[in-house]
Amino acid sequence: MELRNLGCTEITVSELCFGALPMGPLQANLTVEEGGKLIREALESGINFIDTAQMYQTYNHIAHGLKGFSGDVVVATKSAAHDYQGMENAVQEALKVLNRDVIDIFHLHAARVTPNVFKEREGALKCLLDYKDKGYIRAIGISTHNIKVVEKAAEIQEIDIVYPIINKTGRGILEGTVEDMLAAIEKCDIAGKGLYAMKVLAGGNLIGELLEAIKFGRNIKGMDSISIGMIRKEELELNLKIFNNESITEDMLPKVISTKKLFILERFCKKCGKCIKACPNGAMELGEISVKVNHDICLLCGYCYPVCPEFAIRMV
């Protein structure tokens, strides 16, 4: 597995990053033991980079996978905290539950925001800077779907890493096109920012075009790593072959296009709108009877699940 420096940082990561979102309760809900076992297999196969977040609830899975492992592992996490105290709580939680002395990368979790995020979350950013100065964080980043935020991040000296959404269809990109996002990524690259990509498979919607979708992400200039969510050993083994540039035969590829969709149980929905606010891609809106899902832009991320007070959201 090829190792690369993240921009101008001294953090070296594998080209394939293990995305921990899908194994948590927002999606597959693997047990800590199941998720930890898969993570350990990934580490022993040459992946040294794991991406997670406070809201993914996968810290215990990662800690289980890391237990007893002697190699170097880069862990990136993120929090949507807006103020100093909220971010401090998030940092301390990550250090404690992951059983780490240092968090390698800590992002502002800012999927659906405007470039004003750096001002609006000034307290949260100040906290990350303080913890970096104290040696508890190695690099500060931002995770976003918004092209304008990526562009702004290139100008913010304190931001070391940028984690943008990018895929060949443009699904999930806010404030512009695929070409616009590629231009923003190039701007970050020129500024020396470390870059790794999220959702090159568009939340699983491009699983039927797996090789083409991954090739697109790998060919982006300045992109140091690609984060891909994995919940099965077969997925891990296939992705390892792809990123190790091994031969891929037709029988190794997924046989069907993902048919999963997000649905709202109308009889339970109270139209409170909490899921609409939580959706990072604007894929939900109020209907006459319940909230409706726009399946053409839904990323199947599961961010809406934990905020629904009526447990009215299902993925089938």
Render pLDDT for 75-123 as a digit per residue (tens, 0 to 9). 999 999 999 999 999 999 999 999 999 999 999 999 888 999 999 999 9
Q: Where are the alpha helices (DSSP H) in the chain?
A: 32-44, 59-66, 84-98, 117-120, 122-133, 147-153, 178-190, 210-218, 233-243, 274-278
Q: pLDDT-derived band of residue 126, with 50, 70 and 90 as boundaries?
A: very high
Q: Which two tokens stand for residue 11?
A: 């953090």
Give 300 or 155, the one with higher predicted confidence. 155
- The tens digit of pLDDT for each residue in 20-70 reads 999 998 888 899 999 999 999 999 999 999 999 999 999 999 999 999 999
- The tens digit of pLDDT for each residue in 206-265 reads 888 889 999 999 999 999 999 999 999 999 999 999 999 998 877 777 654 454 677 787
User: Could you tell me if 26 and 71 are in contact, meaning their C-beta atoms sit under 8 angstroms apart?
Assistant: no
Domains and CATH numbers, the chain: 3-252 (3.20.20.100), 262-315 (3.30.70.20)
Look at residue 145 and tell me whether its pLDDT is greater than 90.
yes
